[in-house]
Amino acid sequence: MTIFSFLMIIQSIIIGIAVTELLNGVAKLLRNYKLAEIGLITPILGIMVLTGLLQIFWETWGLQHYGEWTFPEMLLMLSGPIFLYLIAHLIVPETKTEQHLTTHYFLNKNIVWTLALLTVVVGVLFRPIAFGEPLFVTDNVSSLFLVICCILLIALKNIWLHRILLCLGFISVLVDTLAISYAIQ
């Protein structure tokens, strides 16, 4: 077993736990809320987290040609899935309370979008820091937009702006995944 295989197993476990958390969240939503109460923000955020987790796994596979890894490099590699797990845990209330899902979202939005911002920043800086790869590559273009979205989502309190930015951010993640990182070598 190579060191990369070992690291992919660790990352796969974290991603698996995060996906499980997302699916538990979906089950809680379906059990505790009427479909009309769920709204737009929580499902889109959940789909973004799932897409982010899969994209991290997908792009990490392209690092298999690096034979030597350090502990800080491993921590950087694992931080994205860990941050996304935390977001997955925060986006759905533990129990149905009198609190509407939108209220729950706004109570947690600062930590959620700070974690998302950290995920994007670490994702952009990981390869340049760990392996000396260039920072300014096509794969990082959508990340600048996502950084701006995260900062705005932390700062803004208007529900419609959140819905719009979330949709635009999701489209950005999809474009990055399907157009830029579509195939790995």
**pLDDT, tens digit (0-9, with 9 covering 90-100), for 122-133:** 999 999 999 898
Question: pLDDT tens digits for 36-90?
Answer: 888 889 999 999 999 999 989 988 888 888 888 999 999 999 999 999 999 999 9
| Mean pLDDT value across residues 89-95 | 89
Tell me which residue of 130, 5, 120, 121 sits closest to 73, measured CA to CA: 130
- Contact predicate 114/149, CB 8 Å: no
At residue 118 the predicted structure's pLDDT band, cuts being 50, 70 and 90, is very high
**SS3 category, 176:** helix
Q: Residue 111 CB: number of other CB atoms within 10 A?
A: 13
Q: Is the pTM of this model over 0.95?
A: no
Report residue 161 as tokens: 């702006």
CB 15 within 8 A of CB 57: yes
Whether the Cβ atoms of residue 53 and residue 19 lie closer than 8 Å to each other: yes
pLDDT at 100: 82
Distance from C-alpha of 137 to C-alpha of 8, rounded to nearest angstrom: 24
According to the model, what pLDDT value does residue 44 have?
Answer: 93
- What is the model's pLDDT at position 15? 97
Amino acid at 55: Q
